[in-house]
Structure 1
Amino acid sequence: MGSDTGREGDGSGIDQYWRRRAAALAGVVVVVGVLGWACSSGGAETERERPSAAPSQPAVPTAMPTVTVTATTKVTMTPKAVRRDGDACDPEDVVVTMAVSRDTYAAGDRPRFRVTAVNTGARTCRLDVGPGALDVRITSGPDRVWSSSACARGPASSVKELRRGVPYAATVSWDRRRSGEDCEGERASARPGTYVATLKPDGYKVPRQVFRLR
């Protein structure tokens, strides 16, 4: 008993105890370090062995773009013919009129009609003013009584030059007889009543004239 007390008294037992504790703690530290190294190495290999993600594919459009086709119509304008002095008159440039000399004619009086044509164009032009082109017609209802072209003496055509603003004027007289087919020989006289005179030129609209025969 005395000997045990002496060993503890010199401190050798206590030193051995702490040596054993230090050795055990060192072992634990070594084991923990080894486990940590193993885990970190395995994780690195796992990261290296893991296949990389496939490259991203371009997004597919949900709808194709709409293509609009616009049709273009080409219009070719035909230039108007240039007119020179002495060319035929353009109907758009000529104003044709007719006026009766009276509203009522007594027995034996011959009706007279004044026909005029005025060139409103910029240049001098030629116009046919003969009875074949400017035909004065007398009607009574549906009855065609007389025509200046049917009873004209001389050529039916007569071309005149019309200067700008200078009117051509002619007077047509009716002998109050029916024209028939050729105005030759005996012809019946028109009866008293209301008659209508019209001018029939090509390309012109001339107001009609109403008059009476007694």
Structure 2
Amino acid sequence: MAGLMQPVGPEPPVVYWVRRGALLLVVVTLVLGGWWFLGSRSAATPDTSTEVAAEETEVLEDDGSAATEEALATPAEPTECLDSDIEVTATTDSSTYRVGQQDPILTLTITNVGDVPCFRDIGPKANELEITSGGYHVWSSDDCSTSDESDRTLMAPEKQAVLILTWNSRLSQKGCPDEGKGRKAKAGRYEVVGRNLEVTSDGTPFALSNKKN
């Protein structure tokens, strides 16, 4: 213990004290240098936890965007047409016909006026052309029809389905008791109305006349 406090050796004590001081200075320098080095590395190290969290958030946002784009890119399957998407018109090829000489040609037109394609039954079972006079039933395409056929068709926007038939100018009744051989219609004013399912057209007037056109 005394050797640590009092220099022992052949040289003067001051020499040993100088050596001890130099050694102590080197030790202190090494300690301070190590502390400074470790401190600088700690300050330069980025906050990796923040970066990882940010990256994870970005991945979640990208997944949501991709799903939305995929949904928008996939067109919806067509469904049944709403009645509000369907327009029906009934027309004649002339406004006046001579009795016994000309039979009116009637046209039923069904149009998809909606914005998207949809399915619609345009078969004989779903359609009707009816002629009235003064509010009374005169003839209908359903009176003597035996067809219950359906025709479910995909209709694009503005697509039309057209049915054309000729009225033989004879009266008919529901159930066709006279087998379509009813008496001939007389001269007068008439109106034709078309129907597809629950959608009905406006009436189109025409006349039967005994006079020549």
- Range into which the TM-score falls when normalised by the shorter chain: 0.5 to 0.7
Show structure 1 runs of 5+ residues with no match.
1-82
Q: Which residue of 1 aligns with 2:184?
A: 189
Q: Does 1:140 align with 2:133?
A: yes
* 8 A Cα contact 2:88 2:194, kept in partner: no
Question: TM-score normalised to the size of structure 1?
Answer: 0.54
The one of 93, 105, 111 equivalent to 2:104 is: 111
Larger RCO (alpha carbons 8 Å, 6+ apart): 2
Alpha-carbon offset, residue 153 of structure 1: 4.9
Percent identical pairs in the alignment equals 27
Can you list the C-alpha shifts for 1:46-92, whole angstroms capped at 9, x where unaligned? xxxxxxxxxxxxxxxxxxxxxxxxxxxxxxxxxxxxx9544211112
Can you list the C-alpha shifts for 1:144-182, whole angstroms capped at 9, x where unaligned? 110111123533533322122221111132111111243
Following superposition, which runs of at least 4 residues in structure 1 exceed 4 angstroms of deviation?
none
Question: Rg: which structure is higher?
Answer: 1
Alpha-carbon offset, residue 96 of structure 1: 1.8
Q: Which residue of 1 aligns with 2:29?
A: none
Can you list the C-alpha shifts for 1:1-39, whole angstroms capped at 9, x where unaligned? xxxxxxxxxxxxxxxxxxxxxxxxxxxxxxxxxxxxxxx
Larger helix proportion, structure 1 or 2?
A: 2
Show structure 2 runs of 5+ residues with no match.
1-74
Distance 1:104 1:89 in 2: 35
The one of 199, 207, 213 equivalent to 1:212 is: 207
Distance 2:141 2:194 in 1: 10
* 8 A Cα contact 1:88 1:127, kept in partner: yes
Q: Does 1:129 align with 2:118?
A: no
How many residues align? The count is: 132
Q: Does 1:199 align with 2:194?
A: yes
Q: Which amino acid aligns with 1:95?
A: E
RMSD: 2.3
